[in-house]
Amino acid sequence: MMNIETQLSPRDFLIRYQKVKRPVVVRAVPELAALSEKWQPAYFATQAGDTEVMVNYNRDGFYDHMRSVRNEAVTRQAMPLHEALTKIEAGEGSYYLQQLSIDKSLPRIKNDLPELPWLGFRRYVYIRNLWIGAAGCITPLHFDHVHNFLLQVSGKKTFVLYPPQDSRYLYVNPKVRHTSMVDLEQPDLDRHPLLLRTSPMEITLEAGDLLYMPPRWWHHVRSLETNISVNIWWNPRFSAANLHILWKGLKLKLFPPKLPPELRETKPTNAT
Ligand X SMILES: O=C(O)CCC(=O)C(=O)O
Binding site residues, ligand X, CB under 6 A: 131, 139, 144, 148, 150, 157, 219, 221, 229, 231
> Rounded to the nearest whole angstrom, what is the least distance from the CB of residue 136 to ligand X in the complex?
11
Long-range contacts of the stretch 11-18 (C-beta < 8 A, 24+): 13/118, 13/212, 14/118, 17/212, 17/214, 18/118, 18/147, 18/212, 18/214
Residue 12 or 54 having the CB closest to ligand X = 54
> Rounded to the nearest whole angstrom, what is the least distance from the CB of residue 47 to ligand X in the complex?
22
> Rounded to the nearest whole angstrom, what is the least distance from the CB of residue 93 to ligand X in the complex?
17
Cβ atoms of residues 233 and 126 within 8 Å: yes
Residue 77 or 148 having the CB closest to ligand X = 148
Q: What is the number of other CB atoms lying within 10 angstroms of the CB of residue 201? A: 16
Residue 46 or 94 having the CB closest to ligand X = 94
Residue 77 or 229 having the CB closest to ligand X = 229
Residue 12 or 135 having the CB closest to ligand X = 135
Phi, psi of 142, deg, nearest 5: -160, 175
> Rounded to the nearest whole angstrom, what is the least distance from the CB of residue 219 to ligand X in the complex?
6
CA distance 263 to 266: 9
> Rounded to the nearest whole angstrom, what is the least distance from the CB of residue 206 to ligand X in the complex?
14
Residue 12 or 124 having the CB closest to ligand X = 124
> Rounded to the nearest whole angstrom, what is the least distance from the CB of residue 89 to ligand X in the complex?
17
